[in-house]
Amino acid sequence: MPSLHIFTFGDTYRWTRLYIFENGRDLEEEVDVEERRAFDASAQEKAVTEESSKFDWNAHWYPVAVIADLDKRVPTAVRILARDLVVWWDRNGSNWQVWDDRCPHRLAPLSEGRINEKGELQCSYHGWCFAPCTGDCTCIPQAPKDGNPVWKSKRASAAVYPSVAKEGILWFWPDTRPEFKSIADTNPPPSVPALADPTFTDELSSRDLNYGYEQLLENLMDPAHVPFAHHGLQGDRKLAGPLNLKVDKLDKSGFTGMARSGPAVFVAPCVFTMEAQLPTKRGATKRVVMIFICIPVSPGQSKLIWAFRRNFASWMQVFIPRWYLHIRQMLVLDSDLYILHAAERKLVEVGARKWETVCYVPTKSDALVIGFRKWLRVYAGGQPDWNGRYDGLPPTPQREVLMDRYWTHVKLCRHCKAALKVFEGAESFLQVLSVGAAATLGVAALKPSPQVRSWSIPLAGGAVLATVASRWLSSFVKKAYHYHDYNHALVK
């Protein structure tokens, strides 16, 4: 049985994939007739009633952020399901607030505001202040205190979304109407057992991606791409082969299925988990649960929150720095980012609703992808409900912008942000050391003496070494925290 040394995006998948192939079949099989019915849209439309076929995108909880990465000192702007949100910490109530990111006065973004001395959110455009939880306006500086109390008008209130912190993730309900204020009491966010179970370890991480929600989920449900799209990172082209995946039950709430090493579960609209199980000689079972929380941001934009939770080797949580793991995980995400970005646009060109006719998927390795596309078409209207806010995909930016790491991950991650600060500080120190050594050598050359000559070689060597180390650090910082391309044609 293959062993696993470091759990990264790559290594977890590699272990899962090898386990699949060691227990898999040698020959690829055609998808059976029942699975092929997933392509027959008319048959599927008749298979569900009008009531059960309707998935309401606006009546579900959506993840906003990994709580550990949020800054309690400042408001944070987030976009989820075509909504601009502001997330901020209510220090009086000791909870996170999720509001509509606009001041009712002149629609300025509240995420550019501040948390004032009273613990209220204050707009930085005209200074209007809003109370936590209710969003009621408490102060309009421009209104005379002895005049009409215009700040008490409902029109002066900020819009507050229901929000809940659960299992390390902040969730929000995308409806600000009063009747949904206590929706968490009767309809809480979905629970992810491996996140709730303290015997499992691994922290949550996140990244914004320049391709859409549909493309993101489809890709994560497709382990067959790993040996090729991530060759040399978490896969090996020579080890590719048939995968016997299947979907057991599918309805508007998602589906359950099987990967070859354990169950696969999609809880609509955001949560997808795959489990890898490894029996041991002692009869116990080592488990790795790959948790992917996929968030629709806007057309062509998505956000991924992930964790590879395991019930063994907890020591790695202490001894392997998160920033080190994240560097590799970012490269894995980058290695198929452009492929997915381009494929999404090709699908839009022919019509996203025609996926089952333009994509030829004859093997069981695509079973989970077929199941997701079936759910999306039959139950969910073919795409997220953007509430009429968007029309079409954004243009493709330059490759460096498309695959940027700083704005899509580093700035959002406390581990990588702290590590970047250290590396940039070390780079600056080396530059100063190089210049200082060279300057000292130059001054000493003006006053030659035996003592000066004895120090000239160490000073010159130190200046050269500091310069080389500084240049290396500069290149490392750029590749690890800004942009590092992956050329499939050159990876052997």
Per-chain mean pLDDT for the chain: 87
Mean pLDDT of 419-441: 91
More confident residue, 318 or 309: 309
Checking phi first, is residue 95 left (phi over 0); if not, alpha (psi -120 to 50) or beta? beta
**Span 6-27, pLDDT tens digits:** 334 444 333 333 333 333 333 3
Mean pLDDT of 312-316: 79
Of the ranges 6-10, 405-409, 424-428, 479-483, which one carries the lowest mean pLDDT score? 6-10
- Is residue 459 pLDDT above 90, yes or no? no
More confident residue, 27 or 250: 250
Q: Tell me what pLDDT residue 21 has.
A: 33
More confident residue, 351 or 30: 351
Q: Tell me what pLDDT residue 83 has.
A: 96
- Is residue 417 pLDDT above 90, yes or no? yes
Q: Tell me what pLDDT residue 389 has.
A: 83
Measured between alpha carbons, how far is 371 from 398 in angstroms, rounded to an integer? 33
CA triple 248-250-256, angle to 5 deg: 50
- Is residue 3 pLDDT above 70, yes or no? no
Measured between alpha carbons, how far is 223 from 210 in angstroms, rounded to an integer? 21
- Is residue 137 pLDDT above 50, yes or no? yes
In the chain, % of residues over pLDDT 70: 86
- pLDDT band, residue 147 (cuts 50/70/90): confident
Q: Tell me what pLDDT residue 454 has.
A: 67
- pLDDT band, residue 206 (cuts 50/70/90): very high
Mean pLDDT of 54-64: 95
In the chain, % of residues over pLDDT 90: 69
Q: Tell me what pLDDT residue 117 has.
A: 96
Mean pLDDT of 397-404: 94
* Nearest-10 crossing angle of helices 213-220, 367-378: 150
- pLDDT band, residue 456 (cuts 50/70/90): confident
Strand order in the sheet with 137-139: 114-115, 121-122, 129-130, 137-139
More confident residue, 325 or 16: 325
- Is residue 484 pLDDT above 60, yes or no? yes
**Span 338-370, pLDDT tens digits:** 999 999 999 998 887 788 889 999 999 999 999
Q: Tell me what pLDDT residue 462 has.
A: 86
**Span 281-307, pLDDT tens digits:** 676 788 899 999 999 999 999 999 999
